[in-house]
Amino acid sequence: MAQLRAKTVRTWYRVHKWTSLICTALLLMACVTGLPLVFHDELDNLLEPHVKAADVPDGTPLAKIDPMVAAAQARFPALHPFSVFWDDDEPRVFVSMSPVDQPKDHDVRTMIFDAHTGRLLETPQDHFELLSFLLQAHAEIFLGLPGELTMGVMALTFVISLLSGALVYGPFMRRLDFGTYRRDAARRTRWFDLHNLLGIVTLTWAFVVGATGVMNALSTPLFGLWRAQIMPQILKPYHGKPVPMHFRSAEDSVEEVRAALPTMRATSVLFPNKVFGSPRHYVVWSQGKTPLTSRMETPTLVDVETGVVTTTGGLPWYLRALELSRPLHFGDYGGMPLKILWGLFDVALIVVLASGVYLWLSKRKAPLERALNHLAEQEQLQEAHA
């Protein structure tokens, strides 16, 4: 590979410096809030203890969801069924009720049932949830979609700072051993070495987290794009027809989907909804049963009047990429060892950010910047005399 000229390296150094400074505040907040979110399941069990489902023999069939929905309707008669969700980690079913098709978090009321016995386990009450608070801060800085897009721009800026930092690190390290840390040097030099060392060690991980952060920030508009593309085609035959007054069984609709997709398992049901689905269809979301396909969801629509199943052909490539990016972002697909690794990398990145701020706040120019300026000036003189 051709050696980069000093002027080019200086340009990339400036790109690295300014992109890093632009994203540092939000990125530092994302790292601090993201650290406990890596251990979300463990902290949730500690902070929010809940009623356990009954121990049942392996192979015990799942309880029907219709009685659970009926119980939720009796408990919240002013609301209508919004969704049913089967917990991935425990044999529990969450039945959510809502007053509108596009509810706010505080509008939704949920009842939790035993997935095998159908027994009501608990009805969570409104209270402050630390992990939900941290997730909102991490994903959208409490601003909804504008906040999500802002965090997406931050993540993209972070990715650019990583790439430019790697281009600067290579030429700089030609005169030093890899991972050099000069213990006896001045304090600022030690911070400079630590910043470079941790930066290059966490580079691949940080790039993955940054890139998946960009994808996650685009989830709302991407799903909106998909709905705008697919729903008009599915609903075209129903144009002008009134929405049925009485809906067929949700359980029967789920069974129809299970029969149509035998290699998949149903994970949730969205009740007729004109914002997120269809006003006259159940949307049944299913996942594969293998480790890889379990991260890929497929929606299927079931007519609430006739029971006709309409497959959507799966999700487009950009939503598949989004689905695969989510577990990579939080490192929650490899058990506790991977979570610990993700946590250590997160702490290392916090140190990189803090050291970068310290180096920038120094009143004098960094040695590397002075050296790059000197080399660039020499190149210009050589070109002028050539």
Instruction: Give bridge partners of residue 84 from the DSSP assignment.
Output: 95, 269
- Which of 100-114, 132-146, 175-189, 285-299 is the least confident region? 175-189
Residues 30-84: pLDDT tens digits? 999 999 999 988 888 888 888 899 999 988 999 999 999 999 999 999 999 999 9
User: CB neighbours of 141 closer than 8 A, spacing ≥ 6?
Assistant: 26, 29, 147, 150, 151
- 165 and 304 part of one domain: no
The pairing of beta strand 120-122 with beta strand 80-86: unpaired
Instruction: Give bridge partners of residue 311 from the DSSP assignment.
Output: 300
Could you tell me if 181 and 197 are in contact, meaning their C-beta atoms sit under 8 angstroms apart? yes
Report the domain count for the chain. 2
Q: Is residue 47 part of a domain?
A: no
What does the alpha-carbon distance between residue 345 and residue 31 come to, in Å, rounded to a whole number? 10
Q: Is residue 325 part of a domain?
A: no
Q: Is residue 233 part of a domain?
A: no
Nearest one of 279, 263, 262 to 271, comparing CA atoms: 279
Q: How sure is the predictor about 1, in pLDDT bands with cuts at 50, 70 and 90?
A: very low
User: CB neighbours of 277 closer than 8 A, spacing ≥ 6?
Assistant: 227, 231, 270, 283, 301
Q: Which two tokens stand for residue 51?
A: 């009623």
User: CB neighbours of 194 closer than 8 A, spacing ≥ 6?
Assistant: 181, 351, 355
Q: How sure is the predictor about 384, in pLDDT bands with cuts at 50, 70 and 90?
A: low
Domain membership of residue 90 as a residue range: 58-129+246-314
Question: Given this model, what pLDDT does residue 111 score?
Answer: 96
- 268 and 371 part of one domain: no
- 12 and 67 part of one domain: no
User: Is the pLDDT confidence value at 376 over 90?
Assistant: no
